[in-house]
Amino acid sequence: MTEPYRVLITGSRDWQKVEVVRFALDYAFCEAAHTGRPLTVVHGACPRGADAQAADYANYLISRDLPVKTEPHPANWHINGKRAGFIRNAHMVNLGADVCLAFIKDGSRGASHTAALAEQAGIETRRWTA
């Protein structure tokens, strides 16, 4: 079985530029297709912002019978408290990815931290800011 082309999404909860997320995912899908690998969209399962936009678009691609999967990683706020987002983000980076797409609004601490962790892990990181 072919290893998926893993795209790690990190972004601000108040990211509003849906078209930017879609463009970035379309480009990643084309990269995956060029390598003959299915696309897996890894995200933090935030119900709004960049995570939600990426998940919605990935689900749209899935509905078109394209080789795409989603891999949500919700933060465990009950167990980890205020650090839950940072713990979840580090876990997603540690799982590995081919590329990290970072959508950072107003210097979002969580998204900026995840993008930095991805870069430190040797994952190509593409940033968009607003």
In CATH, what number is assigned to the domain containing residue 40?
Answer: 3.40.50.450
- Average pLDDT, stretch 60-72? 97
pTM of the model: 0.96
Q: How many domains are contained in the chain?
A: 1
Tens of pLDDT, residues 113-129: 999 999 999 999 999 99
* pLDDT for 103: 98
Distance CA 75, CA 19 (A): 26
Q: 98 lies in which domain range? A: 5-129
Distance CA 54, CA 100 (A): 12
- Average pLDDT, stretch 33-59? 97
* pLDDT for 128: 98
Tokens of 33: 């297709």
Tens of pLDDT, residues 97-115: 999 999 999 999 999 999 9
* pLDDT for 46: 95
